[in-house]
Amino acid sequence: MFIALQMASVVGLAQTNLSDSVLQLKQVQITAQRIQNFSSGTKIQTIDSASISQYSSNNLADLLENESPIFVKSYGLGSLATTSFRGGNATQTAVLWNGFNINSPMNGQLDFALIPNNFLEKVDIQYGGGSALWGSGAVGGTIHLNNELKFNEGLKVNIGSTFSSFDTYQQQLKILFSQKKWVSSFKFFNHTAQNNFPFYNTLKSDTPRQIQNHAQLKQVGLLSENSFKINENQQINFCIWYQNTDRNIPPLMLQTSNNTNQKDETKRFTSQWQRNGKTANYFIRAAYFDENLIYSDYSYNYVSPNSAKTFIAEAESKINVDKNNLLNFGFNNTFVKATSDGYSEAHQQNRTALFASYRFNSSNKKFQTTISARQEMLLQKLTPFVYSFGAEYKFSKWLSAKCSAAKVYRTPTLNDLYWNPGGNPGLQSESGFSEDVGLLFHFIFPKKKINFSFEPTVFNRTINNWILWLPGESFWSPQNILQVWSRGMETRSELKFTTQNFSFKINVMTNYVLSTNDKATTANDASLHKQLIYTPMYSGHLKLSLQYKKIAVSYLQNYTGYRYTSTDNTEFLTPYSLANIYAMYQFVIKNYSINFFAEANNIFNQQYQVLLNRAMPLVNYQAGFSIQFHQNKQLK
């Protein structure tokens, strides 16, 4: 019914007279109160709407792989994609949507291949430990996917379609209806792919060229976001995110066939009430997530249903003591109930948390510092008390410095505790410390219209009680057995030259990560002081962007270094470097903006593997169009 009302509103407005002027689409901003106000000293990278639009028909894994130094562990086109953030594993990256953690409570991970970029306008990546702000799992970093709707924007409609190699098609629709006190957004996408790409099978002596099979994908999703102004000081919103994915799991290179399938269905509902006052702001939030996964193996007539339901309630206040001091207090309760044929019975958890933050700004606006703390209770036991400290100082217009230190933790997942056989209810939480130090050089030459920035960051992290699944006599079981030390350096550089009709930009990111096991698990442990598996020591990105009037072209080159596939570092995957080219042309007719784009990926036909024996595509292509309409008028 709600969707029907939205479509009726669109039709009604479309019948009004069009304005003769051309109005450019404004960016929808993303806000997350704590990341804005209480993240002093931490490194935050923002991927804006202009960059995301280039990947609008792709998923979040593709975006992170090409626009950030995060290593994405991809199992192939349409398959599972997880992250390794600063030498951590997939469960040590927290992903938040509207302030709520959307990682699976069963395995503690998020499949980034299931998140469509069509639903995003901006992504904030917070590096380093954030457990004090966001709770369990924010160890390596936190990814924020929060949209803020703007009032009084009129009507915006965006329709697009993409055609790609390997029989891949996607259609998408965005509608924004924005009035003075009411704004509603509706987004929809449909994605189908055969993923029948050619590859060279390196496991066979003559390295034959083969066609990937059993990798078909069907995906559909919709996102509805709505916000209402009760009065000038109060606002309420609610969001609905539904998604359904049906995908076959392709065989490994050493397999001739595979008959497994995975179906994912997710329903997410969130709501928030906020009141803004002169000295204090109040927020009350609630969320309900219903996640269902069915894994099937037709060869053995095996079907495994898995279901998790999450209820979250949170209250938060932000108090302006004066112009230099800001306080934050909050309460969170999370209840999870999960069922699986891998559990002997249904299991549930209730987690309660108290958190607080304080920020100080100097009067000259050169110095800022933040202190945060969090205490959680899980299964009537206190988890490790965590805290963080961050500071920034601006030495001059072109130089500033930042540093941060935090205690971090991650509680065991439901699978870690209760999987049958193998679950270990006696597991302790992973915990440790994370530190960052960084500089930011930023030079602006207005007369020459040149902008240059360089940001090096050094990080260090130690984690105790690292959970690792180990083989036993009859089955695998998780143990608190590793002590992992991660350290390294990241750099980010940007050079931009802009005139009235022309702009040229160079972006360079480099990443050095040394992540080693510093605790022997056996008497002659060959993994001691060795790099963790699937953690590249070196990686980097180079992106050249050129825009002239309505034409935009970009070239991306990324490099991924050696990834060890054995804990003693004797076996590894060779480095690879991929190159992509993207071109877009836009023209405007009254209130309509029409974009045509084309993209070529892996243009040098690089043969590579991200994970061992997982086939990846050679050169492939993508093309499409989008039509945008903006009517900035209110209903009479």
Task: Give residue-wise pLDDT tens across range 106-155.
Answer: 999 999 999 999 999 889 999 999 999 999 999 999 999 988 888 999 99
Name the DSSP class of 33: H
Domain boundaries, the chain: 28-631
pLDDT value at position 107? 95
- Please report the pLDDT score of residue 610 as a whole number: 95
Length of the chain: 636
The pLDDT value given to residue 472:
82
The answer to whether the beta carbons of residues 612 and 565 sit under 8 Å apart is: yes
**Tokens at residue 281, please?**
């702001």
d(CA 100, CA 102): 6
Rounded CA separation 29/35 (Å) = 14
Q: Kind of pairing, strands 141-144 and 93-97?
A: parallel
What's the CA gap between 469 and 413, in Å, rounded? Answer: 12
Candidates 537, 535, 559, 534; CA nearest to 613 is: 534
Which H helix or E strand runs over 343? none
Below-50 pLDDT ranges, the chain: 1-32, 635-636
- Segment 168-185, tens digit of pLDDT: 999 999 999 999 999 999
State how far the Cα of 352 lies from the Cα of 315, in Å rounded to an integer.
12
Q: Which pair of structure tokens corresponds to residue 544?
A: 């050249």
Which residues partner with 71 through β-bridges?
A: 84
| Separation between Cα atoms, residue 534 and residue 82, nearest integer Å | 11
Q: Percent of the chain scored above 90 by pLDDT?
A: 83
pTM exceeding the 0.75 threshold for the entire prediction: yes
Give, rounded to a whole angstrom, the gap between the first and last alpha carbons of the chain.
24
pLDDT value of position 524: 84
β-strands 476-498, 325-340: how paired? unpaired
Q: Homologous superfamily of 28-631 in CATH?
A: TonB-dependent receptor, beta-barrel domain (2.40.170.20)
Instruction: Note the pLDDT tens digit of each residue in 455-511.
Output: 999 999 999 999 999 888 889 999 998 899 999 999 999 999 999 889 999 999 999
